[in-house]
A and B are shown apart, each in its own frame.
Chain A
Amino acid sequence: MRVAVSKKELLRVLGRCQGVADKKSTMPVLGNVLLETVGPNELRLAATDLYLAVSGNIEATIERPGAVALGARDLYERVKMMPDGQVTLEVNDGAATTIRAAGSARRYTVHGMPGDEFPSLPEPDANAEWLELEIAAMARLIAATHFSISTDETRLHLSSALFEWEGDRVRMVTTDGHRLSKMEIGVKGSEATASMLIPLKGVQELRRLCDEAFSELKDDETPKLSLVQSGPSVFFELAGFRFSVKLVDAQFPPYQQVIPAQSERAVRVPRNAFAEALKAVSLAASDRTGGVKLTLSPGHIRVESESPEAGEGFDEIDVDYDGPEVTIGFNAQYFLHVLAAMPDDEVMLGISGELDPAVLQPGSESVDRSYLAVVMPMRI
């Protein structure tokens, strides 16, 4: 194989492949990125860890077609060091590949593997029906919920995001067993049904791909992604990439049951001031638990922390409340994640007893967007 490609383009696609390639796998080939020529003037790059797979094509001047698999990180780092402009990749004897740039003496040789040793990537059923969704919508779903995905990989049903499409609404729900986030967005004119559990790593990569799509964006575009569920996987196409994720085959917990229908006390809270107070006081919270005490009293919310190691912290914000005083312990981080995910100036905080979940919602609801977060208290 001998091809010439734009360094910038190559790096862009390699960057995403690098994120997916599995450098720690016992199958060394999975630490590689596959490069193969496609048709007269395209180079396809692909990487997989057998759960996620990503591929993208870039324009190439093909002098000699072929395929090779090269260490993803090694290649990425070396290409990054090449001067801007065109770079040539030439596969020599075996799978040793030399990287050069026109007008520069700099060159690298990377030892790779023959392209045919690279596993083939999953393909969707040719008859499967693709759905279209604005990338912005997907990005908002993920941004509003990703933080409450459990990182505990032994609890697969929690270390994934529930993605559902119900008629003209799409929804993402995540929970780590301590808190839950649910975001729904209206999709005008759509009529579809889908339900899938996307594992954490898949959500993270999808998020990066959405960012990638936005960075390429011109002003008046509303770019869309296509998705299709086929076999055990879901396939996405966006920003010039094909991305597939092997879905989690497990039962998402019955999340509707833990969303309180109504809270005993609901109070409207200025989002920024609340977040600032939580941030400030949690600095003095116990490292081990991160717990702070929230006290709702007439006219105020008090935020307090005390721990033998970290001393004490206190803050207070004004709210419009005149019910009885109630004190509940919470992990401040859980609140901060939610507050950071809401763009609204005001949020509705619903709390009941000291063992009952708190509910956070945007201060004003809109038809095409509904967000809700549930946070379980701590005993402090």
Chain B
Amino acid sequence: MERWILHADMDAFYASVEQRDDPRLRGKPVIVGATSPRGVVSAASYEARRFGVHSAMPGFRARQLCPHGVFLAGDMEKYSRVSRDVHRVFAEFTDVIEPLALDEAFLDISGSVALFGPPLTIGRRIKEEVRARTGLAVSVGIAPNKLVAKIACGLSKPDGLLLVTPEEVEPLLAPLPIRKLWGVGPRTEEALLAAGFHTFGDVAGASLAALHRAVGSRAEELMRRARGVDERPVIGERMPKSIGEEATFETDVVDAERISAALTAHAEAVARRARRAGFVGRTVTLKIKLARARGSHPSRSSGLSEPDYPLLSRNKTLRDVTADGALLREVALELWARAGIREPVRLLGVSLSNLQPAPSDGAGPRAGAPPGAPRSPSGQLELFGGGAPVGAPAPAPSAPGRRSGDALGRALDAIEDKFGRGAVRRAVQAPAKITQTDRRKVGEEPDES
């Protein structure tokens, strides 16, 4: 099966939506997102672009270039609604869609050709459908991979459609300035220009040694990209990058018990969401915002001074995937302890990343393992079988009856399904309700007898 990747990008999306909804704006330079003194442009209509205004440009600069432009604050909710309509069109042609932004997505249409016709036909139909349903123009680039599809889309704008066959890739890329090469920022560009590499073709045809002298260890990768080689798959939107929970405390917290309660609540919530969505993950990240500000910065929206709260993050990659709240909690607490914070905290967050789909029977990461020695996904067998699950810390000796793992998670989910959220929680989440007797039972306090 030939690989065909389609990159779809709405033309001047926010500005076009505004022009569609307000006929008075049509034909005028419309600039969205630079209404506050320090705001930046999030979209500029093609009329505005003629004056040199482009997205990410500071608002004051846009006003200098285009003083008569129509500056709008923007309505993200409306754009999201339109975006959903657009993505619905995409979804009619393939289920392998990687959304990049509200107005931009990669579609893997390799498997759609048999159903909908050649790639160019699919591209044309997507454009027609988007126009029919939203009244907006989308540009489409189609190529054997993401890198070239995106470049093709950019070249086709506005309202374009460009298909690049494998044979056309190199001739198409060769004359492009290296600035357009994905991964080349201002500094790399400078280094490349200084070494005499001006176009994709220069980089593609260079000797690896010469390129290495200019950009170091990235040489090989840049060369591959300049030749239009890109094996990255289109990653469907069903796979989130991470699942996280965080909350700002109403008052800053130093108290260890409240920290532990918050981490527990977040960990359990993350685990529950992961189980519901059918994911397991390997990396646990703890996010900590300290309460004591170190300096301040002007707010983007109001221009007023906003304090800078130091933000720390600590993460840990487990050997095995998990969606077990107790394990996430252990790791979060461990990360907390290792961070060594001894000052008030403003916000705590826990997230799980490095996600993969949970085994389909829903029984957890190791459900498919054969009886006998437990194993991790790599197939590596464990020395100490039968005890704690892989990746779990040794059970605390004071809590002999503790059970953790997938079975517990499923039981908790079932209870919540029946009795509502929060029906069952860890004791540590309600420290005020823990009695002396409870503490004795779990060995936190010595038995008086």
Binding site for B on A (CB under 8 A): 25-27, 50, 152-157, 175, 177-180, 250-251, 253-254, 258, 288-289, 291, 329, 331, 355, 357, 374, 376-380
Contact = CB atoms under 8 A, between A and B. Distances in A.
A26 B341 contact: yes
B380 A355 contact: no
Given A25-B340, A26-B312, A154-B316, A251 B380 contact: no
Contact of B379 (A157, A357, A378): A378
B418 interface: no
Instruction: Tell me whether chain B's interface is mostly helix, strand or loop, or mixed.
Output: loop
A55 B319 CA distance: 35
B380 A289 contact: yes
Considering the complex of A and B, which 8 residue pairs feature the smallest CB-CB distances, nearest first? A379-B379, A376-B381, A289-B378, A378-B379, A154-B334, A258-B383, A378-B380, A154-B331
Contacts of B420: none
A153 B316 contact: yes
Contact of B330 (A25, A154, A377): A154
B397 interface: yes
A250 B394 contact: yes
Interface of B: 312, 316, 318-319, 330-331, 334, 338-343, 372-373, 375, 378-384, 390-391, 393-394, 397
A6 B275 CA distance: 62
Instruction: Tell me whether chain A's interface is mostly helix, strand or loop, or mixed.
Output: loop
Contacts of A378: 378-381
Contact of A377 (B319, B331, B381): B381
B390 A177 contact: yes
Contact of A258 (B312, B342, B384): B384
A331 B380 contact: yes
B126 to A, nearest CB: 33
Contacts of B393: 154-157
Contacts of A380: 379
A253 B393 CA distance: 11
A154 B381 contact: no
A357 B382 CA distance: 9
Contacts of B375: 379
B318 A374 contact: no
Contacts of A254: 384
Given A154-B334, A156-B393, A289-B380, 14 more contacts: A50-B340, A152-B316, A154-B331, A155-B394, A177-B319, A177-B383, A178-B381, A178-B382, A179-B383, A254-B384, A374-B383, A376-B380, A378-B379, A379-B375
B378 A152 contact: no
Nearest to B317: A152
A258 B374 CA distance: 14
A177 B385 CA distance: 9
Nearest to B334: A154
Contacts of A50: 340
B384 to A, nearest CB: 5
